[in-house]
Amino acid sequence: MTFPAMPLYRLVVCLAWPIVALSLLTRVIARRERLADWGQRTGLAPGRGSGPHLWLHAASNGELTSARPALLALHAARPELKFLITCNSLTGRDLALGWGLPGLSARLAPFDTRWAAVLLCRRYGVVGHLLLEAEFWPNRIAAVARRGLPVIAVGARLSMRTAQTWRRLGPLARHMLARLTFVSPQDEGSRRRLAELGLTPGQMTAVLDLKAFYVPPAGLTLDPDLRRAFDRDATWLAASTHEGEDEIVIAAHAALLTQRPEARLIIAPRHPRRGAEIAAMVRAADLPAALRSRGDAPREHAVYIVDTIGEMPLWYQLAGTTFIGGSLVEKGGHTPFEPAVFDSTLLHGPDTSNFTRIYRMLDVAGAAIQVSTAEELARALIQVRHADRRDAMRRKAHEQLDQPTDLAEVVTRILAALPG
C-alpha cells in the first residue's frame, strides 16, 4: 500500500516538529539566539499586521538584497500593499528590518508545518506568496494555494543536486509544483530541471536572475577615516566567506605581504557571529586584527574583519579586488554582480554552482580568475596589481554582466495575480 505524498510529508513534519523545537532551543541556551527567535522559528511567536500583506520568503541576506528592486517596484505600483518577509537567517531578517520600508514586517521563517503557514496567512492578511530562488517548501505552498491565493517563485534556481533530491520525491514534487501560479526560472538549466519535475510550460515565464538588477543603496557615503585607511588599489576584500575559507584567505594574504607589504585585507564573513573566531585565526598567523563590531580602528597593516550586517556596499567601494566567498567550500559561490557594480576585480573558487552560467561567461571572457588554494589566490592577487590587467578585467565583467533585462514584466505579472 502506498500513501499519498502530501499527507505523508505532513505526518513526517508533524512528528519532527518537537525534535526540531528542542534542537532550536539549544541555540537559545547557548545565547546564539533569543527566546523570541525560537518562537518565530517554531511558529509559536505572536505577531499581527493590518492590511494586505504580500508574503516574501528568502533564505538569507543575499537573496533579499537581490529582491529589493522588485519590492520597491511593487510598492511604487501599489503603495497600500505591505510586505511580510520571512528568512532562514538572523542576518537576513535584520537586513530587511533595516530597509525601513513602510508597512514591512520581518520574521524568521517557521518550520514548514501547515498550521504555522496558516497562522501567518491569517494574522497578516496574506494576499500572495513570493518565494525566492531555491526556497520550495511544500506545506507553505499548499497552505497559501488552498486559500485561493497566488504562489509565485521568482528567480527560481534548481541545481542538479537539488533536482535529484526532488526526483526521488517525485509525487511530492509534482503536488507542490502544480500549486505554483507561475515561476520565473533563474537560468535555462533550472527551467529544464523544473520542467522535468512536472512544471508546465504555461507556468513558466522568461528567465530572470534578480541579482542582475542590483542597484547600490541611494546616498551611499564612505566615512572619510575609512577612505584614508584603505588605498583601493592595495586593498582586497574576501566577501561572504564561510567556515573553511578564512584560513585560505589569511594564508594567501600572508604570502601576498611578502611581495606587496602595503596590501590590506578586509574580511566580511557570511555570518557575522564568526568575527571573533576569524580574528583569532588572523592573530594565529602572526597578523594584527581589527573587529568592526568592537569599534576597533582599521589601523595600518591590520586585517579588518567587518562582522556587521548591511554594509557590504562600503567594502566593495574600498576594495579594488574582491574574492567571492562560498566558492572554496561546497556552498555554490555568491553573487558576482554586486562587486562588479563597484568596479572591483573578481576572483572566485571552483564551486560556483549557484551561478554556473554567469561564472563560466566571466572566466571565458577573462573577466574573473578562478583559484583553488592559498597559493593560487596569492598569485592571482599579484597578477591584478597591474592597472592594465585590473581595468581590462573590470571592463570585460561589465560586458558580460550588463545584459539587457526587464523587471517590469515580472512585476506586472505579480500584481495581476494578486487579488484586488
Per-residue pLDDT averaged across 219-234, rounded? 88
- What percent of the chain is modeled with pLDDT above 70? 98
pTM for the predicted model, two decimal places: 0.83
Q: Each residue of 85-102: pLDDT tens digit?
A: 999 999 899 989 988 888
**Is pLDDT at 403 greater than 80 in this prediction?**
no
- What's the CA gap between 86 and 28, in Å, rounded? 19
Average pLDDT across the chain, whole number: 93
- Cα–Cα distances (Å) from 278 to 12, 100, 275, 310, in that order, read 38, 31, 5, 19
Q: Each residue of 257-277: pLDDT tens digit?
A: 999 999 999 999 999 999 999
Pairing of the two strands 345-348 and 321-324: parallel
**Is pLDDT at 408 greater than 90 in this prediction?**
no
Please enumerate in sequence order all residues whose Cβ is within 8 A of that of 49, keeping only pairs 6 or more positions apart, or say none: 82, 84, 103, 105, 123, 124, 125
- What's the CA gap between 404 and 239, in Å, rounded? 26
- Predicted local distance difference test score (pLDDT) of residue 405: 64
Q: Each residue of 49-71: pLDDT tens digit?
A: 888 999 999 998 888 988 999 99
| Residue 318 banded pLDDT, cuts 50, 70, 90 | very high
From 33, 63, 133, 338, the catalytic residue: 63
- Predicted local distance difference test score (pLDDT) of residue 71: 92
Topology (CATH level 3) of domain 224-401: Rossmann fold (3.40.50)
Topology (CATH level 3) of domain 51-213+406-417: Rossmann fold (3.40.50)
Same fold, 51-213+406-417 and 224-401: yes
- Predicted local distance difference test score (pLDDT) of residue 289: 97
**Is pLDDT at 1 greater than 60 in this prediction?**
no
Per-residue pLDDT averaged across 373-391, rounded? 96
| Residue 214 banded pLDDT, cuts 50, 70, 90 | confident
Please enumerate in sequence order all residues whose Cβ is within 8 A of that of 77, keeping only pairs 6 or more positions apart, or say none: 411, 415
| Residue 203 banded pLDDT, cuts 50, 70, 90 | very high
Domain borders along the chain are 51-213+406-417, 224-401
- Predicted local distance difference test score (pLDDT) of residue 212: 87
Maximum average pLDDT range among 45-59, 289-303, 377-391: 377-391
| Residue 41 banded pLDDT, cuts 50, 70, 90 | very high
- What percent of the chain is modeled with pLDDT above 90? 81
Q: Answer whether 186's CB lies under 8 Å from 66's CB.
A: no
- What's the CA gap between 52 and 81, in Å, rounded? 6
- 196 an active-site residue? no
Phi-psi region of 43 (alpha: psi -120 to 50; beta: other; left: phi over 0): left
**Is pLDDT at 2 greater than 70 in this prediction?**
no
